[in-house]
Structure 1
């Protein structure tokens, strides 16, 4: 049978055999549809069924006769979301909102996808996952015959490949002409802290008693080394849905690259590494087979898992992956978080100094994205610039991201650079603020963050991305400025 997880992210399942006579009876229709699909691809006149199949997918199935696919259905998740959020406005309980919204999205997806799910019951060894958060269906190794059948279903609007998203790796050191700046100041009363924590005034927040205690944070990345000393004890645990690996199906957090471990250390790490050492964490692995490959369905599945109600899902998700060449559907998957007071933070990307280099979904106006500054307090040349879609200011803010010391593989420490190192600082600040006022709404948090900044300058003062100039704020190099944790905690009122 096809396994459908009614609560969380869905699981891969195998479909069982169909009745042989039914299978034979259907074969003539399949062959005819395949003929129409495959042989009409090159013709100027295509049937409406064929038009549902993306051109790149057509080429792949002509060559290989199968492909991993993503099926999109006729009722957009955004439409369902708009309807249900009208009903949830009157509800103040966050858990209740999460359940109402996720139930509505899942019920709509199950209704829209019923005919295709019925088709899958008759297929051998077909693995699928319902992506109810975007009303899509992910299918592994779909044959040309199956694709043809799915395309004939009225509720299906598009069939595409499971697109690979180009990952943004940390910058290669050395990234600046800095003469080995000390990663930790020597004169801090809190011991040796990273320069990033000192720069954004984190110790001053700790002195007020706020360490992120009582707050769960989450990270979508390449994996986590759960055995590292600075993050091991704050893992929320697998019994609390603290780890999800939709592609490799591993049972415990693991990391073969170090990127995720480094980012998480900056958020919650002990030992003077993390902004919010009092917080607990959960994580989702998005890469395939320990490679640097990330696909659309993995990213959506991770967001869907984090949205799952009924567990200890946190209030803050750090998407320190900055996918390039991604689709609007990633924004669709992120949109429900906006209506349930779960704040998503994205790294802007390392495509500077060029302007308009902030990719989707970061380039959309209501996605909070973070650029990077260096040890001298300048916006680094590599940090992606705005403007975003419809002229929106990008990034929202900047934070230390160049030569950042944090946790690495095998219980070691290392220095990495990029906007992936900047956004965890902001995620940590978010946890600090919630430890002071756990009732903050998303719009309140946004206002606090952009109004708790200080001026910075670009590495090259001539770097300007449209109006306003870099001497005015907000601008498309530094956003509203460099985040200041002390200002932010002062701007948050105790409930």
Structure 2
């Protein structure tokens, strides 16, 4: 295992594209160049976006240059095209708009006359729900982990409810990454949990939850700070994730990786279990502007498992999310994300049979220009899952040059609703271990940049060689199953 010498900017032994970008100086600028440059296969022209039906309320992102003047011009173009401005983010040049016009994409570009509007894309294939639609569908708070939410089913997470005692003794995952002997982290560090909400009444979570800076983003990407907007309604997934990151060391239940850090609930999963681009954009921008140091992202952005740059809609939405992630990074936020639970080789993409998941999925060919977001975006730590024996979890995605690190994700004990505890499996459970370790690293290296923290978490990881599996390519130092290896919480707190 390579150790950083004197500087926390020690490079990873196997740089992914975002670490290479950092080495060139300027993550945001290089990431933009990567997105704009090597996106679509050169041999195929971008297909025309399918028109929406007139009279159907659809959601769009309209991208402009990232400044207030250009964003105002984009807003004007939206209104002149008969659309409604729902939310604007001049910080990143993104406008969220709704329209019932089937020609809205073309109309916005036409009225802008080549100015302000850089790209337009639908963020979903299903119609936007109106307030009347939402009122007609009763919301139910998940009471048992035996019944998985639509979100968990879509993400491939399995769950089981367990008795509350004993608890810490069952946390094999904390022992495996040495969190049980590591320091607790700093109260000055905050982790934003972009997920389905955090139960603020749970005795293991309430001590560390920052309600004042929590937010809901599921009202079409408009931030809502009311408690009702950021607590769980149909899923305990976010509550489980939060417990792994920072369940308090208070003599009750379990202990998180970083039990002394703060958490904010940033709700990006709606009551139907979807995380649309505008929700994720809201979440990352909120994190950037409200004191968050680390974000955890145990999801992929719907409705496309892979967002392809040769499709105008998908390209525009992917660019908008990329801008939000890059903006958060420029504001000091480092992010971890789940690699996914399809046992898929992310380095050799060929087909996608699950998208779009909000209407009718249809098989389609995909390639390297199609990315799982946010996990494959520049600057994000991509986390694979391993089991108690240290083997790759059967469900975990993998990929040489894509996976950064691995962490425990099979049958992980953590917090669920109503003060309870449950077992869940998925890369969704692996990613919060890494978010917790990043929080410990931020505690011990308070002046480190996001890129430096990424380099540290990879350099400190314990090497894990490939098993006798032809799908695993690489070396003991880096391979497609485990990346740079198993994250190490103890090293993170020893200032190495």
Q: What secondary structure sits across from 1:305 in the alignment? A: helix
CA distance in 1, matches of 2:415, 2:192: 16
Contact 2:83 2:99 in 1 (8 A): no
Look up the match of 2:175. Answer: 198
Deviations 1:116-159 (A, max 9, x none): 43356689993521133442211123435765642321222332
Q: Does 1:233 align with 2:237?
A: no
Q: Does 1:416 align with 2:424?
A: yes
CA distance in 1, matches of 2:159, 2:106: 49
1:100-139 to structure 2, matched below 5 A, reads 105=66, 108=67, 110-118=68-76, 126-139=84-97
Deviations 1:289-320 (A, max 9, x none): x1112211111111111112xx4x12111112
Q: 430, 442, 456: which is aligned to 2:438? A: 430
Contact 2:288 2:332 in 1 (8 A): no
Look up the match of 1:7. Answer: none
CA distance in 1, matches of 2:83, 2:56: 16
Structure-2 change in CA distance of 1:184 and 1:325 (3 Å): farther
Q: Does 1:476 align with 2:496?
A: no
Q: What secondary structure sits across from 1:406 in the alignment? A: strand
RMSD after superposition:
3.3
CA distance in 1, matches of 2:46, 2:90: 20
Look up the match of 2:257. Answer: 275
TM-score, normalised relative to structure 2:
0.68
Look up the match of 1:245. Answer: 217
Look up the match of 2:193. Answer: 219
CA distance in 2, matches of 1:139, 1:368: 30
CA distance in 2, matches of 1:181, 1:413: 6
CA distance in 1, matches of 2:425, 2:461: 21
Structure-2 change in CA distance of 1:197 and 1:164 (3 Å): farther
1:282-297 to structure 2, matched below 5 A, reads 282-288=264-270, 290-297=271-278
1:68-467 to structure 2, matched below 5 A, reads 68-73=59-64, 75=65, 105=66, 108=67, 110-118=68-76, 126-144=84-102, 149-152=107-110, 153=112, 154-155=114-115, 156-163=117-124, 168-172=154-158, 192=169, 194-206=171-183, 210-238=184-212, 241-247=213-219, 249=224, 251-252=226-227, 253-255=230-232, 256-270=234-248, 271-288=253-270, 290-308=271-289, 311=290, 313-323=291-301, 324-326=305-307, 327-352=318-343, 354-356=345-347, 359-364=372-377, 366-387=379-400, 393-456=401-464, 461-465=468-472, 467=473
Q: What secondary structure sits across from 2:418 in the alignment? A: helix
Contact 2:189 2:292 in 1 (8 A): yes
Higher relative contact order (CA 8 A, sep 6+): 2
Number of equivalent positions: 379
Q: What secondary structure sits across from 1:341 in the alignment? A: coil
Structure-2 change in CA distance of 1:322 and 1:143 (3 Å): closer
Contact 2:185 2:443 in 1 (8 A): yes
Q: Report the Cα offset of residue 198 of structure 1.
A: 1.1
Structure 1: runs of 5+ lacking an equivalent: 1-50, 76-104, 175-179, 388-392
TM-score, normalised relative to structure 1:
0.68
Q: What secondary structure sits across from 2:182 in the alignment? A: helix
Q: 482, 488, 493: which is aligned to 2:492? A: 488
Q: Report the Cα offset of residue 272 of structure 1.
A: 2.6
CA distance in 1, matches of 2:163, 2:464: 21
Structure-2 change in CA distance of 1:403 and 1:157 (3 Å): same
Structure-2 change in CA distance of 1:185 and 1:211 (3 Å): farther
Contact 1:221 1:319 in 2 (8 A): yes
Contact 1:183 1:404 in 2 (8 A): no
Q: What secondary structure sits across from 2:99 in the alignment? A: strand
CA distance in 2, matches of 1:125, 1:281: 37
CA distance in 2, matches of 1:430, 1:148: 43
Structure 2: runs of 5+ lacking an equivalent: 1-44, 127-149, 308-317, 350-370
Q: What secondary structure sits across from 2:59 in the alignment? A: strand
Deviations 1:220-266 (A, max 9, x none): 1122222111111222122xx22233427471131121111100110
Q: What secondary structure sits across from 1:482 in the alignment? A: coil
CA distance in 2, matches of 1:409, 1:299: 24
Structure-2 change in CA distance of 1:474 and 1:404 (3 Å): same
CA distance in 2, matches of 1:173, 1:281: 23
Contact 2:257 2:489 in 1 (8 A): no
Structure-2 change in CA distance of 1:149 and 1:53 (3 Å): farther
